[in-house]
Structure 1
Amino acid sequence: MGNDPAPQPEQPRRQVALAIKRIFDVVASALALVLLAPLVLMVAIAIRIESRGPALFRQKREGLHGHAFMAFKFRSMRLEVCDASGVAHTVKGDPRITRVGAFLRKTSIDELPQLLNVLIGQMSIVGPRPHVPGMLAGPQPYRSLVPYYDHRLSMLPGITGWAQANGLRGDASDPVQARARIDHDLAYIENFSLMLDLRILVKTIQQEFFGGTGS
């Protein structure tokens, strides 16, 4: 991987906030997995009925300080065309996506299995979205477009983040939008607070689950 950011010592107040954030992640993800179990089961059945293959899809992502982990998602593409690398971006009307998958992506329900990654400690509920190794921004690697890209790896990746709450998600073919995502990630890291996390969660629920802005 590129120039990994060296772990920096946290200020005492920030350390306390991060500890509270982790406690919230564990409690919230465990509770959500229990409460959403019927929905998870229905989604898994719908995926299996429409197309052959497992309901869950695992993909390598870059986590804290660039350490790789396997992120869970509901499978939204036909098995024979699933992109395990994740380097090829999905586009509007992508023929690889199933009908059930299109609905899951639009509502962001496909991300729900990442609650398992949160419970394990590989992710947080709120943080910069985890990218695949070698992520592209337009025709070039993200790290070539944004020299300070790796600084986003100084916090646990999240199911949602400040960039997503501000509509910066999906196709990264536009260099201006792609750079704006990283700038939002770094703004979140620098200004992290528990109140900011709460604000992001509220915006995400409004936009993704009720507004259906996923892709």
Structure 2
Amino acid sequence: MSIMAVFEINRRLSGAYTITPQLVEHVAELVAKAVGGTPSVTLEFRNGRNLSSPDISFIHDSSVGVEVLDTVSLYAANKANTCHIVFGWSPNMPIYMLIKLPRLEAQQLETTVENLLKANATWYSPLFRLKQRGMSINATLAAASVILGLMFLGSIYYPSLISAYGGKPLAGLFALMVFMGLTDLLLPATIFAIGRSGKRANTRRSLFNVLAVAIVLGTLVNLWSGWLAKYLNLG
């Protein structure tokens, strides 16, 4: 009797996702069915505390919602079949999947889990995918510093040129860099909608919304003030 070869998928997903207890339980059910073994769940918190349980329903325990979650991972093994999925793997790659199953089963599980995650992607997930592949917060701050330097030098050596052509576009570009930086600071790649973790994410998201509106309004006023002045015959 031939033994079906094990096919390994080792993958990290970019983007930004909201992880709910229901999503974790759904993925755990898929893993259990594919691997043939019940997955254990491990919770890692920001304060360095870890909790593990062979019962997936443990994610609803009151002790889970007390502290801020860092990662939630599922692990199941049955002979050669293995599956390890981590939510909150890293800021750049929030999802990690290691799947060792026969080829078709491995690919099917990968696709199903990915589709579930896409259904729980945040509105800013496409932006994060772009940043995670190139522009980090350090690159954002460096670009903003360069723009500030150009604005400063231009105001000294070419004040008329900056005033006529470059000032407002540079200011708008700087505002964009600040906006990108705020997404790194206030919008997490992994939002755990569980207890204190969910409340913390909502607070940061509300702060981001306020600052983003202020930046957008300030930029629009800066870019259109000259045109409005001429239109209203105030300039």
- Considering the TM-score relative to the shorter chain, is it more than 0.5? no
TM score, norm. by length of structure 1: 0.28
Under a length normalisation based on structure 2, what TM-score does the superposition of the two structures give?
Answer: 0.27
Q: Which has the higher strand share?
A: 2
